[in-house]
Amino acid sequence: MIKGGVAVKFFKKKSFSSLFNEWFGFENGIDISNETQVLFRRNIVIKNIIFVSNMVYSTLMMIVSFITKTNSNWILTAILFPLTFLINSTLKKMIYTHKDDIMHQTIAMYIACFYMFLSSVIIYMKMKTSGASFGEAGYMLIYYALVIVSLYQNKKLLKTISKWFIVIITILHFTITYNMISTDFEGNTFEQIIEFLRSSAFADIILRTIILASFILVLYVIVAITQYMQDQRRLELIKREEVQDEFTDIVKEMFDVTLSNDIVSDDDRQHIELVSVVAKRFSEILGYSAAKAQKLYAFSRITLDKKVDLNTDKISSKDERFIHLSNQAKLGNEIIKRFELDRLADSIIRTSVEGAIVETQNSGKLIKHKVEEEQVILLSDMYVTLRSLRSYKRPYPNKMAIETLNREYSQFFDSYLFERFIRFSDEFEKIYDNF
């Protein structure tokens, strides 16, 4: 029961799509801007394809051996079966030993491609010589090998392999497909050659060669287009990362300047905490939900509870770094917005106390552009500021603070919001006095 449960959990965690992506996903868990990582991942995928291909080849040989009932076929099948696994293991070791070395990964790439090519040729030769009915089925494996080579999306590789394909396949056409070695050219050899050139066999060879060359040409065009798109994608990603790094540096500098004062005095801390409590109670009076009131409370004291951290030294993944920086940038923006509200409240009160009517009016107009939640915090902040001691003013008693707000600042706020604040001013007085 336990083993069964473990198996169920494993398959739940490892869905078919995730397993397929793990085995055959060319971009699974790599940085596509890193050429070595890209080639390393492609080598792994091709190795897995070779493993599956070896299983198919072994199965085909077993089928051929069973049908032909030839001992030599069974012997060859028995030899090839463990040999294919040995080759796959060797290729795996070669790929993983120097996974960060582009040269070793390139060598592994060429070895894998030549192995696919040679194995398909050997299987074709065996199937062709085992019986005419198997020959054409085996011939398709050659095209299959070419498709596997094209998966590397490397024009140079495909061009190199294709030359060997053309040469070796041409030899196969004259030796295996149509056994010209056993042909007796006694007598008038020239006439026999002319006769062969006019034969259906030679026409078939020419047709096979044309089809093969056309197939290679189509693959080359597809690979060239794909490689170009991949290169452009990689360049764009590199440029984006460069821009991202530059943007990160700018954001860091901006935050360092804006949020440079990490030390909060006891008076400032008390002020922020008091504003947060008043704002939360005010939001409850306005009928906000508990979740919304708590969110407003958290935003009110965000400058105390949160700190921007743009350090990504311990994060290796670029995606995770991006997510971290994005979240921190959002946090920094929220902190700056809160600072702006605090500074605006202080600026309005200061200019009013100092008699700068025009500046007060100009600052007050900014309140009208704030959303309701920001007005709640701003009004709470202005009330606490009026009640508190400042370098430019003495503390106002509650009645004087409310009268000042009502007389000088009511036109800056939403009427309903401001009226509710004035109506419940006794509660805010208790909060301030008992804090």
User: What is the chain's percent helix, strand, coil content, to nearest 5?
Assistant: 80, 0, 20
Does the pLDDT value for residue 328 go beyond 90? no
Q: Which pLDDT band, with edges at 50, 70 and 90, does 390 fall under?
A: confident
Q: Where are the beta strands (DSSP E) in 202-310?
A: none
For the record, the structure tokens of 328 come out as: 């921190």
Residue 373 backbone dihedrals phi, psi, to 5 degrees: -60, -40
What DSSP assignment string belongs to 388-417?
S-BTTBPPPPHHHHHHHHHHHTGGGS-HHH
Predicted pLDDT of residue 2: 43
List pLDDT tens digits, range 133-151: 666 777 888 889 999 999 9
**Span 32-52, average pLDDT:** 88
Question: What is the pLDDT confidence band of residue 191, given thresholds at 50, 70 and 90?
Answer: confident
Q: How confident is the model at residue 11 (pLDDT cuts 50, 70, 90)?
A: very low
Determine the pLDDT at residue 236: 84
pLDDT band at 14 (very low <50, low <70, confident <90, very high): low
Beta carbons of 398 and 425 less than 8 angstroms apart: yes
- Does 124 score more than 60 pLDDT? yes
Average pLDDT over residues 400-420: 89
Tokens at 347, concatenated: 């600026």
pLDDT at residue 359 tops 80: no
Q: Which of 24-33, 122-131, 175-184, 331-340 has the lowest mean pLDDT?
A: 175-184
Average pLDDT over residues 191-215: 83
Q: Give me the mean pLDDT over the 202-211 stretch.
A: 88
Give the pLDDT confidence score for residue 117 in this predicted structure: 86
What's the whole-number mean pLDDT along residues 372-382?
A: 92
Bridge partners, residue 275, by sequence: none
Give me the percent of the chain exceeding a pLDDT of 90: 24
Q: Is residue 37 within 8 Å of residue 44, measured between CB atoms?
A: no
| Predicted local confidence at residue 188, as pLDDT | 54
| pLDDT bucket at 93, cuts 50 / 70 / 90 | confident
Q: Binning pLDDT at 50, 70 and 90, where does residue 293 land?
A: very high
Q: What is the pLDDT of residues 213-235, one digit of tens each?
A: 999 999 999 999 998 888 888 88
Give the whole-angstrom CA distance, residue 25 versus residue 105: 18
pLDDT-derived band of residue 30, with 50, 70 and 90 as boundaries?
confident
The pLDDT mean for the chain works out to 81
pLDDT digits (tens, 9 = 90+) for 232-276: 888 887 887 777 777 777 767 766 666 655 566 788 889 999 999
Specify whether the CB–CB gap between 66 and 43 falls below 8 A.
Answer: no
323 versus 232: which is more confidently predicted?
Answer: 232
Quick one: average pLDDT of 335-342?
87
The average pLDDT across 357-374 equals 77
**Does the structure show a pLDDT above 90 at 279?**
yes
In the predicted structure, residue 64 carries a pLDDT above the cut 80: no
Binned at pLDDT 50, 70 and 90, residue 181 comes out as: low
Burial (CB < 10 A; 0-12, 13-18, 19+), residue 152, is buried
DSSP of 69-132, one letter per residue? T-HHHHHHHHHHHHHHHHHHHHHHHHHHHTTT-HHHHHHHHHHHHHHHHHHHHHHHHHHHHH-H
- Average pLDDT value for residue range 300-321: 78
What distance in Å separates the CA atoms of residue 57 and residue 122, rounded to the nearest whole number?
10
Mean pLDDT value across residues 418-430: 92
pLDDT band of 126, cuts 50, 70, 90:
confident
- Percentage of the chain with pLDDT > 70? 84
